[in-house]
C-alpha cells in the first residue's frame, strides 16, 4: 500500500475508534472500483460477458470459466438467481448451441 493510501486509511473515523469490522467494510467499499476481481464479480460484468455472442468456431473455455466464476459468486450472495444466470449464459453462446439447449 502506498504511503498516501496508508495516510488516507488513518484518516477514517473507524480507524481511530478501532472499529475494525466497519473499517474493513469502508475500505473495501472505497477501493472496490480499483479492484479488478470485485468488478468481475458483479451483475454488470456478467451481463457484459454474455452480451457478446460467441461464434461456433471460437473456443468457449474462457467464456465458460469466466461466466461460471462470476455467476457462482453472484448466486451464492443472492445478487442473482440461477434462472437469470442460465438465461444470460445462453445469450453468450453461439446461437446454434443455445437453440439446442433451449429445445431440451
Which tens digit of pLDDT belongs to each residue from 11-54? 666 766 666 777 677 767 776 666 666 677 889 999 999 999 99
For residue 48, the model assigns a pLDDT of 94
Is 0.85 topped by the overall pTM?
no
| 37 to 40, 42, 51: CA distances (angstroms) | 5, 9, 20
Q: DSSP secondary-structure letter at 41?
A: T
Question: 102 or 104, which is more confident?
Answer: 102
Contacts of 101 (CB under 8 A, 6+ apart): 90, 93
Backbone torsions φ then ψ of 79, nearest 5 degrees: -85, -15
Instruction: Average the pLDDT over 64-71 and give the result.
Output: 94
Residue 67 to residue 85: CA distance in whole angstroms: 9
For residue 25, the model assigns a pLDDT of 76
Amino acid at each position: 500500500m502506498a504511503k498516501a493510501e496508508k495516510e488516507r486509511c488513518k484518516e477514517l473515523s473507524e480507524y481511530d475508534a478501532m472499529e475494525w469490522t466497519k473499517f474493513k467494510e469502508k475500505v473495501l467499499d472505497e477501493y472496490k472500483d480499483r479492484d479488478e476481481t470485485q468488478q468481475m464479480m458483479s451483475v454488470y460484468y456478467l451481463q457484459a460477458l454474455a452480451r457478446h455472442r460467441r461464434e461456433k468456431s471460437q473456443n468457449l473455455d474462457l467464456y465458460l470459466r469466466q461466466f461460471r466464476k462470476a455467476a457462482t459468486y453472484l448466486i451464492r450472495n443472492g445478487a442473482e438467481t440461477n434462472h437469470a444466470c442460465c438465461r444470460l449464459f445462453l445469450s453468450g453462446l453461439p446461437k446454434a448451441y443455445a437453440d439446442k439447449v433451449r429445445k431440451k
